[in-house]
């Protein structure tokens, strides 16, 4: 019995890209998988709330950058901090 799936537009685009050979295997897959698993573990770790004073200008710039990235500004701030402490 053949299974029929209703793919979204995005899924169809991904499928077409795979068929065209646009995606490549990740070199050192096991190492990369372990790295991303560690990132996920740290991301899901218990968090603490802190207060940080920013100038209004810097906060507005952070919010604009977050909007460009399509994420909440607090998530952007957390990701910036995470990049510099890990």
Q: Which two tokens stand for residue 21?
A: 């050979």
Q: Is the pTM of this model over 0.95?
A: no
Task: For residue 1, tell me if it sits in a domain.
Answer: no
CB 15 within 8 A of CB 7: yes
pLDDT digits 0-9 by tens, 24-45: 888 899 999 999 888 888 877 7
Largest CA distance in the chain: 63
Percent of the residues in the chain that have a pLDDT greater than 90, as a whole number:
51
Greater confidence (9 vs 40) lies with 9
Task: For residue 4, tell me if it sits in a domain.
Answer: no
Total domain count for the chain?
1
Residue 48 φ then ψ, to 5° = -120, 145
Task: For residue 44, tell me if it sits in a domain.
Answer: yes
* Mean pLDDT, residues 48-67: 94
Contacts of 73 (CB under 8 A, 6+ apart): 59, 62, 63, 65, 66, 67
Task: For residue 3, tell me if it sits in a domain.
Answer: no
With a cut of 60, say whether residue 77 has pLDDT above it: yes
DSSP 4-59: -----HHHHHHHHHHHTT---PPTTHHHHHHHHHHHHHHHTS----------HHHH
Domain that residue 22 falls in: 9-85
Greater confidence (83 vs 60) lies with 60
pLDDT for 10 equals 93
């Amino acid at each position: 019995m053949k299974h029929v799936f209703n793919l979204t537009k995005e899924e169809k685009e991904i499928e077409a890209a795979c068929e065209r050979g646009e995606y490549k295997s990740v070199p050192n897959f096991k190492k990369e998988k372990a790295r991303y698993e560690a990132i996920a573990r740290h991301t899901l770790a218990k968090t603490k709330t802190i207060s940080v004073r920013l100038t209004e200008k810097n906060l507005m710039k952070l919010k604009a950058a977050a909007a460009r990235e399509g994420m909440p500004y607090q998530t952007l701030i957390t990701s910036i901090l995470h990049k510099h402490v890990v």
